[in-house]
Amino acid sequence: MAINRRELLTASMVGAALWRQGKKAFAAPPAHIQAVIDAAKTGEPISPLIFGGYMEPATTRVWAEMLTDRKFANPIVSAPSAPEAAASPMRRFMGEPFRPVGPEGTVEMDTQRPFVGRHSPRVKLDSRVPHGIQQSRLRLARGKSYVGRIYLAGEPGAKVVVQLVWGPGPGDSQAITIPPLSREYQKFALNFTSPVSTQEGRLEILGTGVGTFHIGAVSLMPADNIQGFHAGMIRHFIDAGFKMVKWPGGNFVSGYDWYDGIGDVDKRPPRFQVMWGNRVEPNDIGIHEFITLCRLLGAEPNLTINSGFGSAREAAEEVEYCNGSTKTRLGRLRADNGHPEPFNVRLWTIGNEMYGPWQLGRMSLNHYWEKHNRIVQAMKAVDPTIKVVLSGATICERGIGAAEKKANFFPSEWEPPIPDPLPWELGGREDWTGWLLANCRDNVDYVSEHTYSYPRLAYDSQKQSFVNVQDPLPIQARRASNRIGEAMEVWQEYVKKMPRLKERNIKFIFDEWGCRHRQIGGSYQPPGMLTPLAYAMFLHEMFRHSDMVAASCATGSFGTVLIDSFGEATGFSAEGLVLKLMANHFDGALPLPLSGNSPQQPVPGTPWVDVPKVPIGSPTYPLDMVAALSHDRKILILSVVNPTESAQEFSPRIAGIKLRGPGKLWQIAPPSLNSANQPGAKPVVEILEYPQTALADTVKVPPVSISVYEFETEYA
C-alpha cells in the first residue's frame, strides 16, 4: 500500500524547535534505541536524479585540457598583472599563463589577424636566439602520453619547434619540428611522452629565422582522454552513480551565450567571466560536449537557460537546436556541427538565483515573473514535451542569504544592507518562490531551491544575527538536512494559499546544497567527517520526501574525485564516498515508515531562517535511519548514520514483510572524526563490505559511521 509523505514522516515529526534566552537543551537519548520498520506501506520511488552533479562555469576540470588560456584571451606579458596574481588561487588549471621567451617586445598581440577572439600572439624572430612563448607548472606523469594540436601561421623563413620539457637538462625534453609555415593558419598535431613525473613541466613554442610567426590556438591533453574528458574522472563518476548533470550551473549562466559553445571547438571565442573575477572561459565544453558527458555517464542532462542577460528568443532557439529535427533551421545547424539526431533534452532550468543583486540581468520580482513566463512559453512552443525548473527561492533560501548578508560573509558594495528582521514574511516581497508560483504556476514543472548550512552557526532572532555555537556533533551534522524540513513546511503553506498547486504536482529540485564552514570572526577547519555525515543525513531527508524531491545536486559533487600532483584521479573524498554509497543502494528504492522511541533533538536557530519549526530526522536519536525496499521489493535496505564519537546500538523490528537468508553491510567507519582522504595517499576513509548472517536483534553501530544493510525479503 502506497502512502503519502505526511504518513511516512509521522514517526519523525516530533517535538518543537527550541531557542530559550540563548540557551540550548539537549535531552539524553533512551538507554536502548528501538527502530520499527513498516514494510507494508511504501512511499514514492526515490528519484535517481537525486544523485546529480552540476558544473560551473561551462568548462571545468572535468575537461582534460591542461593549458591555461589556450586561445590567448589575455595578452602575453612577462610578469603577471595584479588581477592575474589575485585570481591565481582560483585558476582552473595547474599551468601558469603563457609567458614570452625573448626580450621585451618579442611577443605582440595582433588584432588585425586573430585566429579566434580579439587577438592572437605574433612572435618576432631572431636568426640565432629562439623566441616564442611558454607555459610552465604543467603536471606530467611518468610514462604517460600527451596529445594536442597547434595552429600556426608565419613567413617562410620561420623555423618553429614545439617541445615538452620535464627537467633542467639538455635531454629533458621532447621536440616536434613544425613543417614550413604559410600565411594561412594550419593545424599541426602534437604527441609527447614524459619519462618522469613532475609538477614543473613546461610547453615551449619557439622559433628562429627571419620575420614573424602567429600562434592561433594550442591544446594539450592526456592521450587517454575520453572524447576530451578526463579519463580517470569519468571512470569515477560512473562508479559514483551520477544520474543527472546540470550545466552550466551557478551565476555564470546569466552572462552565457550558448552560441559561443557550438561549432569548431578551436574557433569558439574565449570570454571573460564577469561573475568570477574575469577568469577566462574557453568555451571548450559546449552543448555537444555536455551531451557527450551525460551519455558517457548514463546521466540525464539538465540544461540551464540564461534568464539574466538572455532572452526568450535565445531560449527557444536553444531548444530548437537541441531537440528540433533537421527540417528546422537550428536542427540543420546541429547536424552541420556533427549530430543529425536530436539530443531530446527533457529537463531545462530557467536561470539561477534571479532574486540576487549579484546576478547579471537581475530585475524586480514583478518584472521577472513576466520574463519567466515569456521564456517558458517560447520554449514550449518549440517543444511542448520539455519540463522546466523555476529559479525559485522560498523565504528559507532568502532568509539564510539575508543572514549571510547581515554577517557580511560576502561583501559587496552593490548589495544594500538588510535592516528588516528575519524570518521573512510568507507571501511578502522576499518570498520569491511564493510570488512566482502565484504568477507563473502554469509555466512551472519543478522548483529550484538552494540550501546551504553552517554547522557552527545559529541565527538568533533576538540579536538578528548569526551567533557562534558549539553544539554536539549530531546537531552540527543535522543543520544541513534542516533546510529540507524548512522547505517542506513552507511548501505546505503555499498549498494552503494556492490549492491549485496540488493539480500541478510540482516538486523540488535542490540543485545546490552543502555545508559552509565559517563562524563569526572567520572560517575554521572542520573535522574531516563532519560534512560527510551531514551529506548522509541530507540524503536521508530527501529520501523521506521522495514524493516532493525530483532531483538534487550537491555543490562540488564533481569535485569529490581526488586528483594527485600529476593530474591522475586517485579516488574519492569522504563526501564522494557517501554520495556513491547512497546512489548505489537507494536509486529507485521505495522508502518505508520508520518509527522509534528516541525523538530527534531540537536544533537551535530561528524557524524558516536556518531551522524548521518541527525537528526532522528519524526518531532514533542520536542515530539517523532510513529504510526502503528495492524497486522490485526483493531487498530491504536500511541506512544508519551515527554522528557521534561513541559506539551506539539499536534494536530493529520489521513489520509487514519477512526477511530470508543472510545479508550484507556496506560501511564507512574511519578511524576518527578527523579522518579525511588525500590525493595520491592511501585512503583512510573507505567503503568496506561485510557479510551478515541475519539482521541481529541488537545492532552495534561504530562511531562516526554510515552503514547500509541489505537483506533479501520473502519476494526474492
Q: pLDDT tens digits, residue range 527-548?
A: 999 999 999 999 999 999 999 9
Is the bond preceding residue 45 a cis peptide, omega within 30 degrees? Answer: no
Task: Kindly state the average pLDDT of the residues 17-41.
Answer: 70
Short-list 265, 381, 250, 263, CA closest to 317 = 381
Residue 83 pLDDT grade (very low, low, confident, very high; cuts 50, 70, 90): very low
Q: What is the distance between the alpha carbons of residues 600 and 598, in angstroms, rounded to a whole number? A: 7
Helix/strand/coil percentages in the chain, nearest 5 = 25, 30, 45
Cα(451)–Cα(401) distance, integer angstroms = 10
pLDDT digit string, tens, across residues 460-501: 999 999 999 999 999 999 999 999 999 999 999 999 999 999
Task: Identify the bridge partners of residue 706 per DSSP, sorted by sequence position.
Answer: 641, 668
For residue range 371-426, what is the model confidence (pLDDT) as tens digits? 999 999 999 999 999 999 999 999 999 999 999 999 999 988 888 889 999 999 99
* Model confidence pLDDT, tens digit, residues 436-449: 999 999 999 999 99
Asked whether residue 69 carries a pLDDT value surpassing 60, the answer given is: yes
Beta bridge partners of 642: 705
Q: How far is Cα 33 from Cα 604, in angstroms, rounded to an integer? A: 23
In the sheet that 33-38 helps form, which strands lie side by side, from edge to edge?
594-596, 33-38, 648-655, 699-701
Of 258, 243, 93, 226, residue with least CA distance to 557:
243
Per DSSP, which regions of 378-494 are E strands? 387-390, 446-453, 457-460, 465-468
The burial of 415, by beta-carbon neighbours within 10 Å (0-12 exposed, 13-18 middle, 19 or more buried), is given as middle
Can you read off the three cell numbers belonging to residue 632? 522490485
Strands 107-110 and 120-124: antiparallel
Neighbours of 437 (CB within 10 A): 25
String of DSSP letters for 580-627: HHHHHHHTT-EEE-EEESBPPPPPPS-BTTTB-SS--S-SBTT-EEEE
Residue 598: CB partners within 8 Å, gap ≥ 6? 29, 30, 33, 34, 619, 620, 621, 622, 623
Cα 347 from Cα 665, distance rounded (Å):
35
> Which pLDDT does position 415 carry in this prediction?
86
Q: What are phi and psi of 601, to 5 degrees?
A: -80, 145
H helix or E strand, kind and range, residue 158: strand 158-165
> pLDDT class for 89, splitting at 50, 70, 90?
very low
Taking the C-alpha atoms of residue 63 and residue 567, their distance in angstroms, rounded to an integer, is: 12
| Residue 273, pLDDT above cutoff 60 | yes
Would you state the pLDDT for residue 12? Answer: 35
| DSSP letters spanning 683-715 | PSS--EEEEESS--SSEEE-SSEEEEEEEEETT
Q: All 3 cell numbers of residue 375?
A: 521564456
Q: What is the pTM of this model?
A: 0.94
Mean pLDDT of the chain: 93
Distance CA(550)–CA(206), nearest Å, equals 54
Give the DSSP letter of residue 377.
H
User: Which parts of 270-341 are beta strand (E)?
Assistant: 271-273, 279-281, 300-305
CA distances from 138 to 167, 436, 613 (A): 12, 48, 52
Residue pLDDT, tens place only, 340-355: 999 999 999 999 999 9
124 vs 28 pLDDT, higher one: 124
Using CA atoms in the order 62, 317, 118, 223, what is the torsion angle rounded to 10 degrees?
Answer: 30
Residue 36: phi and psi, rounded to 5, are -115, 125
79: confidence class by pLDDT, cuts 50, 70, 90: confident
For residue range 43-58, list pLDDT tens digits in order: 999 999 999 999 999 9
**pLDDT for the residue numbered 91:** 41
pLDDT at 453 over 90: yes
Tell me, what's the pLDDT at 95?
Answer: 66
- The per-residue pLDDT for 3 is 52
pLDDT, position 80: 65
What is the C-alpha to C-alpha distance for residues 495 and 648, in angstroms, rounded to an integer?
40
Does residue 82 register a pLDDT over 50?
A: no
Distance CA 425, CA 43 (A): 32
Whole-number pLDDT of residue 26: 62
Q: Nearest-CA neighbor of 251 among 436, 404, 57, 515?
A: 57
Other CB atoms within 10 A of residue 367 CB? 10
Please give the angle made by the CA atoms of 566, 567 and 572, to the nearest 5 degrees.
115
| DSSP per-residue letters across 117-139 | TT-EEEEE--SSS-EEEEEEEEE
CA–CA distance, 247 with 286 (Å, rounded to integer): 9
- Kindly state the average pLDDT of the residues 620-634: 98
Asked if pLDDT for residue 122 goes beyond 60, the answer is: yes
- C-alpha span between 392 and 369 (Å, rounded): 10
- Predicted local distance difference test score (pLDDT) of residue 414: 82
H or E, element range at 395: helix 395-406
Residue with cell 511564493: 434
The C-alpha atoms of residue 468 and residue 458 are separated, in whole angstroms, by 7
Number of neighbouring beta carbons within 10 Å of residue 329: 11
pLDDT at 263 over 80: yes
> For the chain, first and last CA: distance in Å?
19
Which pLDDT does position 20 carry in this prediction?
Answer: 34
User: Which candidate, 684, 688, 681, 474, places its Cα nearest to that of 581?
Assistant: 688
Give how far Cα 560 sits from Cα of 53, 227, 556, 573, Å: 10, 21, 7, 5
pLDDT top residue among 274 and 361: 361
Residue 624, beta-bridge partner list: 641
Sketch out the chain's domains with CATH numbers. 82-222 (2.60.120.260)
Listed in sequence order, the residues at least 6 apart from 463 whose beta carbon sits closer than 8 Å to its beta carbon are none
Q: H or E stretch including 5?
A: helix 5-9
Q: Convert the pLDDT of each residue in 652-703 to its tens digit.
A: 999 999 999 899 999 999 999 999 999 999 999 999 999 999 999 999 999 9
User: Does position 84 have pLDDT exceeding 50, yes or no?
Assistant: no
Nearest of 710, 689, 690 to residue 633 by alpha carbon: 710
Do residues 246 and 55 touch, judged by C-beta distance below 8 A? Answer: yes
